């Protein structure tokens, strides 16, 4: 018996020795295939080795490394876990296992493996910089940079470590340091794709868009089709206003990697901007399925809900994003904007969220030191206007009349344009300026430098918290006096903003202590130029036999509250029709959703007409078919209110409890139509019913309205511009008189 057992053990030992010899002979072939990048061959040979010797450490290690390089992460984890179990003191195997776990986004486990590797081999530069990357993804930025610095100290020619350090510095907004790190990496390895890509990301942060595009294209020339770079180039194209090119890049990246988060989020962004809500929502939901904590997906899904009029749902998404990332500026901006549409929010709520922006974003920005200022109260004042809307945009219609009618002997006008999109309106703005500065590719600090170099006395924000704003420049206070006006006239919450142009109806005196700015009254919150060739048209109801109401506003202003009022009005007038006109109605998803909201309230679809995008001339001409315009609430119309009045169509409005919900009524009152402005919902319906029942009086008002508007201080743009200049002179004299 003992001899049989001994014989079997001897035979097993001989077989193992034979298998080991055969395995060791195969291993060089696997190594050769791995070095040649033939991963399928390398992994097949490693499989043969492991079939002969299941605990062959070198084969397991090589199989894990090859599987990692070829993206087979499950296989890589399995092989390397077995390898480190066999030889737990092998630093290279521990480090490679850390890389696999990092790629699987299991950062705590990756960190533990990488720290074990470094404990075994303290001078392991590769493991040090890999640990730095893991710590960066855990948002432990200072320790991450320390690891990269240790790797560089051990290996001063280590291009990857310089690049990795640059990526961490980039996340800390230390852009100049990041650029230096990437430049050092490229000096050591001129075709370092990741460092080239990193330089592009620095340029994006600095708004140097053309430089960023050149860098991304160079990175793709080094490694064509790199989906991460393609997706970032798509994001850059969005910033440049090149939406078709952006979407092409997102689609190309998703064709290779359907779950690539950057590309899905970019797709959502560009779809929201181009009013295609259904595909935007789909992209957001795909991201949230794989990453429920994606704060960016949450804000774009919130934006989709806001577009459909679900303001409460939108705000919930923005709040969730802020729980995940409290200093996420885009979430705060979207929440600020959405609250203007929310029936439950008043002035106190609106100004509180604006202060939140200041506390989380603005207060962290260093203030500028101003140079010597010539405090002559009567000298020519240099005005600086900052906007991304010097183009065909509703905001431009509110400030272009003032620009065009400035007294250039008393005021020097400098315009800082922050949008790459230009058109005929841009040309008009340029013509109205003494100095035009294309600030599209100027970082905040560079723009502040330019404003100081131009010796601007009064810097005017024309955006508020709307898209494209440069409030982070105003937080720096590069000018002695700062004013917010017109483009999104609801106050900013910035202690660095001195004045806010408003009017006594839009911002009653009782609530002014809630604003960060000192309120200065104009005849109206905004004005617009007279309509070209506007002549009163016949009253449509005289030929139609029924009243036609019009809503030429953004459809996201149609809150459930105002929809209830409008449908009650339509039920009270069974023959009445309503026309809603907005470019967003080109989107069938939004159009069908809006119609469904009316039909759910018992209004037949045939009584509702939806009109989409058109030229401005066609837009104005459409007022010829409207008897009475209905102002939405709580977010009122602004430019649309002026257009309706100038076209001869009176507007029913209601005063709410915020600047956004009092703007329409303020305009209507400013031209003397006080009896068209209600205090509550019942009053709103009563006004509409009263005037719909008196076509003769309505026809008289229609005929007189254009002249009434032109003769009012609010509607006469020359008079309005003089009032604005009186304000500027008053601000300047107060500054000059101050200590």
Q: For residues 231 and 279, state if they share a domain.
A: yes
Residue pair 47/28 in contact by the 8 Å Cβ criterion: no
Report the C-alpha gap between 324 and 84 in whole angstroms.
36
Relative orientation angle of helices 261-273 and 227-239, to the nearest 10 degrees: 20
Residue pair 569/604 in contact by the 8 Å Cβ criterion: no
273 class by beta-carbon count within 10 Å (0-12 exposed, 13-18 middle, 19+ buried): middle
Report the C-alpha gap between 206 and 213 in whole angstroms.
13
The domain that holds 10 is classified in CATH as 1.25.40.10
pLDDT of residue 4: 60
Residue pair 181/149 in contact by the 8 Å Cβ criterion: no
Q: For residues 177 and 262, state if they share a domain.
A: no
Quick one: average pLDDT of 164-171? 97
Q: For residues 506 and 652, state if they share a domain.
A: no
pLDDT of residue 15: 59
Q: For residues 683 and 724, state if they share a domain.
A: no
> In angstroms, what CA-CA distances link 392 with 304, 388, 389, 419, 533?
23, 11, 7, 11, 19
6 has pLDDT over 90: no
Q: Within a domain: residue 18?
A: yes
88 has pLDDT over 70: yes
Report the C-alpha gap between 562 and 311 in whole angstroms.
13
Domain end, chosen from 142, 176, 206, is at 206
- What distance, in Å, lies between the first and last C-alpha atoms of the chain? 110
Q: Within a domain: residue 95?
A: yes
Q: What is the DSSP letter of 380?
A: P
What are the residues whose beta carbons fall under 8 Å from the beta carbon of 462, sequence distance 6 or more? 385, 386, 387, 389, 395, 399, 485, 486, 487
Q: Within a domain: residue 535?
A: no
Helix, strand or coil, per DSSP, at residue 368: coil
Q: Within a domain: residue 8?
A: yes
Other CB atoms within a 10 A radius of the CB of residue 142 amount to 9
When pLDDT is cut at 50, 70 and 90, the band that residue 112 belongs to is very high
Q: For residues 728 and 705, state if they share a domain.
A: no
643 has pLDDT over 70: yes
What would you report as the CA-atom Rg of the chain, rounded to the nearest whole angstrom?
A: 33
Residue pair 129/158 in contact by the 8 Å Cβ criterion: yes
- What region does 491 belong to: left with phi over 0, alpha with psi -120 to 50, or beta? left
> What DSSP string describes 529-592?
PPPTT------HHHHHSS-EEEE-S-GGG--HHHHHHHHHHHHHSTT-EEEEE-GGGGSHHHHH
Residue 501 has phi, psi (to 5 degrees) of -80, 120
Report the C-alpha gap between 647 and 710 in whole angstroms.
11
When pLDDT is cut at 50, 70 and 90, the band that residue 344 belongs to is confident
Domain end, chosen from 315, 339, 363, is at 339
pLDDT of residue 536: 82
Q: For residues 520 and 557, state if they share a domain.
A: no
pLDDT of residue 19: 79
For the chain, the domain total comes to 4
Task: Give strand pairing partners of 344.
Answer: none
The domain that holds 676 is classified in CATH as 3.40.50.2000
Q: For residues 42 and 143, state if they share a domain.
A: yes
Report the C-alpha gap between 349 and 302 in whole angstroms.
19
Q: pLDDT tens, 559-568?
A: 999 999 999 9
pLDDT of residue 21: 85
What are the residues whose beta carbons fall under 8 Å from the beta carbon of 14, sequence distance 6 or more? none
Residue pair 130/95 in contact by the 8 Å Cβ criterion: yes
Q: pLDDT tens, 364-382?
A: 999 999 999 999 999 999 9
The domain that holds 447 is classified in CATH as 3.40.50.11380
Which of 433, 438, 435 shows the shortest CA–CA distance to 405? 433
- Max alpha carbon distance in the chain (Å)? 123
Other CB atoms within a 10 A radius of the CB of residue 153 amount to 13
Residue pair 125/154 in contact by the 8 Å Cβ criterion: yes
Q: Within a domain: residue 273?
A: yes
Quick one: average pLDDT of 289-304? 96
Q: Within a domain: residue 218?
A: no
Which of 525, 502, 520 shows the shortest CA–CA distance to 728? 520
Q: Are strands 577-581 and 651-654 parallel, antiparallel or unpaired?
A: unpaired
Q: pLDDT tens, 172-205?
A: 999 999 999 999 999 999 999 999 999 999 999 9
Quick one: average pLDDT of 259-265? 97
Q: For residues 692 and 601, state if they share a domain.
A: yes
Helix, strand or coil, per DSSP, at residue 239: helix
Q: And the tokens for 170?
A: 């980039």
Residue pair 229/201 in contact by the 8 Å Cβ criterion: no
Domain containing 14 equals: 2-206
When pLDDT is cut at 50, 70 and 90, the band that residue 691 belongs to is very high
Residue 414 has phi, psi (to 5 degrees) of -115, 125
- What region does 139 belong to: left with phi over 0, alpha with psi -120 to 50, or beta? left
Q: pLDDT tens, 422-434?
A: 999 999 999 999 9
Q: For residues 432 and 313, state if they share a domain.
A: no
When pLDDT is cut at 50, 70 and 90, the band that residue 733 belongs to is very high
Q: Encode burial over 562-591: b for 16+ CB neighbours within 10 A, e otherwise.
A: bbebbbebbeebeebbbbbbbebbebebbb
Share of the chain above pLDDT 70, in %: 98
Q: pLDDT tens, 196-238?
A: 999 999 999 999 999 999 999 999 999 999 999 999 999 999 9
Which of 143, 145, 192, 140 shows the shortest CA–CA distance to 165? 145
pLDDT of residue 475: 98
Q: And the tokens for 376?
A: 């002559």
pLDDT of residue 534: 72
Q: For residues 409 and 476, state if they share a domain.
A: yes
Q: In this predicted structure, which of 19-23, 129-133, 332-336, 631-635 has the lowest mean pLDDT?
A: 19-23
Q: For residues 61 and 41, state if they share a domain.
A: yes
What are the residues whose beta carbons fall under 8 Å from the beta carbon of 260, sequence distance 6 or more? 227, 228, 231, 253, 254
* Residue labelled with tokens 């990357």: 133
Helix, strand or coil, per DSSP, at residue 214: helix
5 has pLDDT over 70: no
1 has pLDDT over 70: no
State pTM to two decimals.
0.88
2 has pLDDT over 60: no
9 has pLDDT over 60: no
Q: For residues 689 and 735, state if they share a domain.
A: no
Q: Within a domain: residue 217?
A: no
Q: Encode burial over 3-22: b for 16+ CB neighbours within 10 A, e otherwise.
A: eeeeeeeeeeeeeeeebeee
pLDDT of residue 710: 92
12 has pLDDT over 90: no
Residue pair 98/127 in contact by the 8 Å Cβ criterion: yes
Helix, strand or coil, per DSSP, at residue 423: coil
Residue pair 357/334 in contact by the 8 Å Cβ criterion: no
Residue pair 552/649 in contact by the 8 Å Cβ criterion: no
> Within 13 Å of residue 443, how many CA atoms lie on the same side as its CB?
12
Bond prior to 494 in cis (omega within 30° of 0): no
> In angstroms, what CA-CA distances link 609 with 278, 314, 502, 548, 592?
22, 27, 34, 10, 12
When pLDDT is cut at 50, 70 and 90, the band that residue 7 belongs to is low
Q: pLDDT tens, 119-136?
A: 999 999 999 999 999 999
Quick one: average pLDDT of 698-717? 95
Q: Within a domain: residue 118?
A: yes
Quick one: average pLDDT of 11-23? 73
Report the C-alpha gap between 604 and 598 in whole angstroms.
8
Report the C-alpha gap between 517 and 731 in whole angstroms.
12
Q: pLDDT tens, 268-280?
A: 999 999 989 999 9
């Amino acid at each position: 018996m003992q001899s049989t057992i001994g014989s079997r053990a001897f035979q097993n030992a001989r077989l193992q020795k034979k298998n080991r010899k055969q395995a060791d002979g195969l291993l060089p072939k696997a190594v050769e295939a791995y070095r040649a990048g033939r991963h399928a061959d390398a992994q097949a040979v490693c499989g043969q080795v492991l079939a002969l010797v299941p605990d062959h450490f070198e084969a397991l290690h090589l199989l894990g490394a090859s599987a990692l390089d070829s993206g087979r992460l499950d296989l890589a984890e399995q092989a390397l876990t077995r390898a480190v179990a066999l030889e737990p003191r092998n630093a290279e195997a521990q480090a490679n296992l850390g890389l696999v776990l990092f790629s699987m986004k299991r950062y705590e486990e990756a960190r533990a493996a990488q720290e074990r590797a470094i404990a075994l081999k303290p001078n392991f530069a590769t493991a040090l910089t890999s640990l730095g990357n893991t710590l960066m993804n855990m948002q432990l930025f200072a320790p991450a940079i320390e690891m990269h610095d240790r790797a560089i100290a051990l290996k001063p020619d280590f291009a990857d470590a310089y690049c990795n350090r640059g990526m961490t510095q980039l996340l800390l907004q230390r852009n100049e340091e990041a650029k230096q790190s990437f430049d050092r990496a490229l000096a050591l390895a001129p075709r370092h794709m990741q460092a080239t890509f990193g330089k592009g990301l620095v340029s994006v942060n600095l708004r140097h868009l053309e430089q960023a595009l050149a860098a991304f294209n160079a990175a793709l020339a080094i490694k064509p089709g790199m989906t991460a770079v393609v997706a970032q180039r798509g994001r850059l194209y969005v910033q440049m206003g090149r939406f078709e090119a952006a979407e092409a890049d997102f689609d190309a990246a998703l064709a290779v990697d359907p779950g690539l988060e950057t590309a899905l989020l970019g797709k959502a962004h560009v779809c929201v901007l181009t009013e295609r809500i259904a595909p935007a929502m789909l992209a957001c939901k795909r991201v949230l399925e794989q990453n429920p904590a994606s704060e960016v997906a949450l804000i774009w899904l919130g934006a989709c809900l806001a577009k459909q009029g679900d303001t409460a749902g939108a705000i919930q998404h923005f709040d969730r994003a802020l729980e995940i990332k409290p200093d996420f500026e885009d979430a705060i901006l979207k929440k600020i904007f959405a609250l203007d549409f929310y029936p439950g929010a008043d002035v106190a709520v609106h100004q509180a969220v604006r202060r939140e922006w200041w506390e989380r974003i603005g207060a962290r920005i260093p203030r500028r030191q101003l140079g010597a200022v010539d405090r002559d109260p009567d000298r020519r004042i240099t005005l600086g206007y900052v906007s991304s809307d010097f183009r065909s945009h509703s905001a431009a219609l509110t400030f272009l009349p003032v620009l065009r009618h400035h007294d250039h002997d008393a005021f020097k006008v400098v315009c800082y344009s922050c949008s790459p999109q230009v058109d005929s309106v841009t040309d008009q703005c340029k013509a109205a300026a003494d100095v035009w500065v294309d600030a599209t590719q100027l970082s905040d600090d560079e723009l502040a430098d330019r404003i100081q170099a131009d010796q601007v006395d009064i810097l005017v924000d024309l955006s508020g918290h709307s898209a494209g704003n440069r409030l982070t420049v105003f937080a720096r206070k590069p000018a002695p006096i700062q004013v917010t006006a017109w483009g999104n006239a609801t106050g900013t919450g910035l202690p660095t903003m001195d004045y806010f142009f408003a009017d006594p109806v839009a911002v009653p005196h009782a609530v002014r202590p809630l604003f960060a700015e000192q309120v200065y009254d104009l005849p109206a919150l905004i004005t617009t130029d007279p309509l070209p060739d506007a002549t009163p048209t016949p009253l449509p109801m005289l030929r139609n036999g029924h009243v036609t109401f019009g809503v030429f506003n953004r459809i996201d202003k149609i809150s459930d509250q105002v929809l209830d009022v409008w449908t009650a009005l339509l039920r009270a007038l069974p023959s009445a029709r309503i026309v809603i006109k907005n470019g967003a109605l080109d989107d069938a998803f939004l159009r069908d959703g809006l119609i469904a909201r009316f039909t759910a309230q018992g209004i037949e679809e045939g009584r509702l007409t939806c009109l989409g995008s058109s030229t401005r001339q066609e837009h104005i001409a459409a007022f010829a078919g409207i008897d009475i315009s209905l102002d939405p609430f709580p977010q009122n119309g602004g430019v649309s209110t002026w257009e309706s009045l100038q076209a001869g169509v009176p507007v029913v409005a209601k005063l709410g409890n915020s600047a956004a919900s009092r703007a329409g009524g303020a305009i209507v009152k400013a031209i003397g139509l006080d009896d068209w402005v209600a205090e509550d919902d019942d009053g709103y319906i009563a006004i509409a019913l009263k005037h719909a029942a008196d076509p003769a009086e309505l026809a008289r008002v229609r005929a007189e309205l254009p002249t009434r508007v032109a003769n009012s201080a609010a509607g006469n743009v020359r008079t309005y511009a003089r009032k604005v200049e009186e304000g500027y002179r008053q601000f300047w004299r107060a500054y000059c008189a101050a200590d």
